[in-house]
């Protein structure tokens, strides 16, 4: 599995387990909803580390241990 695809699947897993929408995750993480939407739709092939950090902040998780697990 390629990295962008695994990141997309991990975001979907986070949304499911926390029972939140992509919009709410982006709001809590302090970034534009279009960023997460672009990742989930495959419009962005390689999300930046900044986007991943914002997603982790919104999900209240550590990027190094929880996001990558």
pTM of the model as a whole: 0.86
Those residues with Cβ within 8 angstroms of residue 13's Cβ, 6 or more apart along the chain or in another chain: none
Those residues with Cβ within 8 angstroms of residue 28's Cβ, 6 or more apart along the chain or in another chain: 20, 57, 58, 59, 60
Q: 54 falls in which pLDDT band (50, 70, 90)?
A: very high
CATH architecture of 3-67: Orthogonal Bundle (1.10)
**What confidence tens digit (pLDDT) does each residue in 35-46 have?**
999 999 989 888
Q: Give pLDDT, residue 33.
A: 93
Please say whether the beta carbons of 52 and 41 come within 8 A.
no
Domain ranges of the chain: 3-67
The two structure tokens encoding residue 44 = 């962005």
């Amino acid at each position: 599995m390629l990295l962008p695809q695994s990141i997309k699947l991990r975001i979907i897993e986070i949304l499911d387990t926390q029972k939140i929408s992509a919009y709410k995750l982006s709001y809590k993480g302090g970034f534009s909803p279009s960023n997460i939407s672009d990742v989930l739709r495959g419009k962005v092939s390689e999300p930046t580390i900044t986007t991943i950090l914002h997603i982790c902040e919104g999900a209240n998780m550590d990027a190094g241990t929880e996001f990558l697990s």
